[in-house]
Amino acid sequence: PKVQAAEKTYTIGTDVTFPPFVYANSNNKYVGIDMELIRAIAKEEGFKADIKPIGFNAAVQSLSSGQIDGVIAGMTITDERRQKFDFSTPYYQSGIVMAVAPKSKITSLKDLKGKRVAIKTGTSGADYANSIKDRYGFKTVTFDDSDNVYNDVKNGNSAACFDDSAVLNYGVKTGLGLKIVTKPTNTGKYGFAVQKGKNQELLSKFNQGLEKLKKNGKYDQIIEKYTGSAA
Residue ranges that bind ligand GLN, judged by CB under 6 A: 15, 18, 56, 73-76, 120, 123-124, 164
- Our CB check for ligand GLN shows the closer of 125 and 209 to be 125
* Residues 203, 212: Cα–Cα separation, whole Å: 14
Is the separation of the CB atoms in 227 and 172 below 8 Å?
no
List, in order, residues 6 or more apart from 24 with CB less than 8 Å away: 16, 17, 30, 31, 53
Query: Minimum CB separation from ligand GLN for residue 123, in Å?
Result: 3
What minimum distance in Å lies between the beta carbon of 22 and ligand GLN?
8
From residue 191, how far is each of 7, 86, 230 by CA, in Å? 24, 9, 18
Cα-to-chain-centroid distance, residue 140: 20
Give min distance, CB of 187 to ligand GLN, in A. Answer: 9
Q: Which is nearer to ligand GLN, 75 or 194 (CB)?
A: 75
Choose between 44 and 146: whose C-beta lies nearer to ligand GLN.
146
Of 74 and 171, the one with the shorter C-beta distance to ligand GLN is 74
Q: How far is the CB of 66 from ligand GLN (least distance, A)?
A: 20
User: How many CA atoms does the CB half-sphere of 109 hold within 13 Å?
Assistant: 17
Q: What is the Cα–Cα distance from 177 to 1, expressed in whole angstroms?
A: 59
Q: Between residues 18 and 111, which has the closer beta carbon with respect to ligand GLN?
A: 18
Other CB atoms within 10 A of residue 105 CB: 8
- Shortest CB 8 distance to ligand GLN, Å: 25
Q: Which residues contact 22 (CB under 8 A, 6 or more apart)?
A: 14, 15, 16, 30, 31, 32, 33, 34, 35, 53, 72, 73, 74
Residue 202 CB contacts under 8 Å (≥ 6 apart), including other chains: 10, 47, 69, 70, 194
To the nearest whole angstrom, how small is the minimum distance from the Cβ of residue 99 to ligand GLN? 14
Q: Whose Cβ is closer to ligand GLN: residue 121's or residue 208's? A: 121
